[in-house]
Amino acid sequence: MRLSLTKWVCLVGVLLGTVAAADDLAARRNLAQAALLVGDYGRAVELADEILARWPDDAATHLIRGLGLVGNGEFGSAEKDLLIAREAYPDDTAVLYNLAVIAQRRGDNRNALFYVDEALAHGLSKNEAYLLKAKLLNHLGRRPEARACLERYLTQRAGSRDIYLTLAQWARADGDTEQAIKYYEQALKYGRDGGTLAELAATYEAAGDRRQAVRYYLEAVGKAAANADILAEYAATYAAASEFEESLEIYEQIVSAFPENPYYLFGLSFVRQKIGDVDQARAGYLEVVRLKPDFAEPYYNLAVLADADENAEEAAHYYYLFLNNSEGREDLAASRATAEQRLRVLESP
């Protein structure tokens, strides 16, 4: 935690002013508070322990100790100190909010909601407090109230990535894809992280907007946050519908990202063959079988291309390779029958 020059000057003044007053409670407390201020939570707790050894009932020191323990992630240990501090400072929002966090972490959602409501009632207005309240309401089975809590907050103050993302996920789970998309788009304004992109892509998919789904999946795959197999399925769907330009665009991008994947390259080569780009298709199929020699389908397509060029020797060579590598493949039974028929023709006198 970095401090401004002004804060450092003030802190140095505090420290210098306490050196000659080691037995003074206020001075010792200032030292502990200074450690808390600079984020040295362990030192703050140590100093608070020294104070409480002599002044065990000092509520202000219990507050410092409790906040120091929270800063160190020792939530269970902090609760006792914060409860003592609450007796002296019942309206302190830091005490109330941290008690809410502690209760939530141990699964006591009702008490956590009570404390966060108290903190909000006494003026706490940070994003995290409203988000915590909403999540607690959701955990208690009160999803509509949870969403309404955050949506009402957004009418009064600027949101945060976490608020928009939480609302998006809830809306998506509730089947409200249109609203979910709006919230995901807002969340992305705080940074285009891969996870959010993948979730937004899936939401567009659920809404039936394939083009937008592809757009966001492409970006998510580029950030290693989604599996390119999803995009390959989209590309294959486009190809099956004879929408070859759309299929080609997707295959080109995933092959560019994963040039060693024989299945993606096969799909790209197949689409190129369909649009008449025979030379690139042939080159692609040859690269596929180099990467995966037992991949049967490329051999069949290479045979068909050679057959079309009336290159009987080459066609027969690839038909044989196809038959050898497709043995037992019921899904390729029709192609195997065609290959056997063509071989009889090609090899006839």
Q: What pLDDT is recorded for position 306? A: 95
Spell out the per-residue pLDDT of the chain, length 349, in tens.
334 433 433 444 444 444 434 569 999 999 999 999 999 999 999 999 999 999 999 999 999 999 999 998 998 889 999 999 999 999 999 999 999 999 999 999 999 999 999 999 999 888 889 999 999 999 999 999 999 999 988 887 787 899 999 999 999 999 999 999 999 999 999 999 999 999 999 999 999 998 899 999 999 998 888 889 999 999 999 999 999 999 999 999 999 989 999 999 999 999 999 999 999 999 999 999 999 999 999 999 999 999 999 999 999 999 999 999 999 999 999 999 999 999 999 988 7
pTM confidence score:
0.71
C-beta atoms surrounding 167 within 10 Å:
26
Q: Is 212 helix (H, G, I), strand (E, B) or coil?
A: helix
pLDDT value at residue 226? 87
Pick the closest to residue 168 from 142, 145, 153, 150 (CA basis). 150
Tokens 């390119």 appear where? 228
* HSE of 122, CA atoms in CB hemisphere, 13 A: 15
For CATH 1.25.40.10, the residue range(s) in the chain are 1-89
The pair of structure tokens assigned to 14 is: 């505090």
CA–CA separation, 65 vs 45, rounded Å?
5
φ, ψ (nearest 5 deg) of residue 50: -65, -40
Q: Which tokens is 181 given?
A: 């998309």
Q: CA 287 to CA 305: how far, in whole Å?
A: 15
* Cα distance between residue 296 and residue 322, in whole Å: 5
Residue 156: per-residue pLDDT: 79
Which CATH number does the domain 1-89 belong to among 1.25.40.10, 3.30.565.10, 3.10.450.50, 1.10.2020.10? 1.25.40.10
Q: Which of 24, 23, 46 is nearest to 34 (CA)?
A: 46
Question: Could you give the CA distance from residue 291 to residue 268 in angstroms, rounded to a whole number?
Answer: 15
Number of H helices, E strands in the chain: 20, 0
d(CA 42, CA 30): 15
Name the token pair of 232: 């390959």
Residue 295 — φ and ψ, nearest 5°? -80, 110
Write down the pLDDT at residue 23. 61
Non-local CB neighbours of 151 within 8 Å, separated by 6+ positions: 167
Q: CA torsion sign, 178 to 181 to 187 to 188?
A: negative
pLDDT of residue 7: 41
Distances (CA, A) of 262 to 199, 266, 296, 300: 27, 6, 12, 15
Residue 18 half-sphere exposure toward CB, CA atoms < 13 A: 19
